[in-house]
Amino acid sequence: EAGVTQSPTHLIKTRGQQATLRCSPISGHTSVYWYQQALGLGLQFLLWYDEGEERNRGNFPPRFSGRQFPNYSSELNVNALELEDSALYLCASSLGETQYFGPGTRLLVL
């Protein structure tokens, strides 16, 4: 069974640009979660989508947004990129309580 996949693996942008990150959940999982893992800060919860709806949001500005598609895959969009947005962005999917993580997208903002 394929795990959670994310693309791209690496992304380099400059300040002010927009970034789009993609996530495909494990087949049959309806919930997708996004986390930011910045150096020294640990994993911070960003967004939770379930059945196409945003269910919960972490303490991040509105320029972090996303959506979930009918096939349960998801996109995370970050607008007006700032240097401190440089981090590993992790996606996880679940059917119940256990979350399974993808390998992440490493975003570097120059």
Partner 1 sequence: TQLLEQSPQFLSIQEGENLTVYCNSSSVFSSLQWYRQEPGEGPVLLVTVVTGGEVKKLKRLTFQFGDARKDSSLHITAAQTGDTGLYLCAGTQGGSEKLVFGKGTKLTVNP
Closer CB to partner 1, residue 79 or residue 86? Answer: 86
Closer CB to partner 1, residue 79 or residue 88? Answer: 88
Give min distance, CB of 68 to partner 1, in A: 14
Closer CB to partner 1, residue 33 or residue 72? Answer: 33
Distance CA 8, CA 37 (A): 16
Give min distance, CB of 103 to partner 1, in A: 5
Distance CA 110, CA 107 (A): 10
Using DSSP, state whether 94 is helix, strand or coil.
strand
Q: Are 35 and 104 in contact (CB under 8 A)?
A: no
Q: Are 77 and 85 in contact (CB under 8 A)?
A: no
Query: What residues make contact with partner 1 under the rule CB under 8 A?
Result: 4, 31, 33, 35, 40-45, 48, 55-56, 58, 90, 92, 94, 97-104, 106
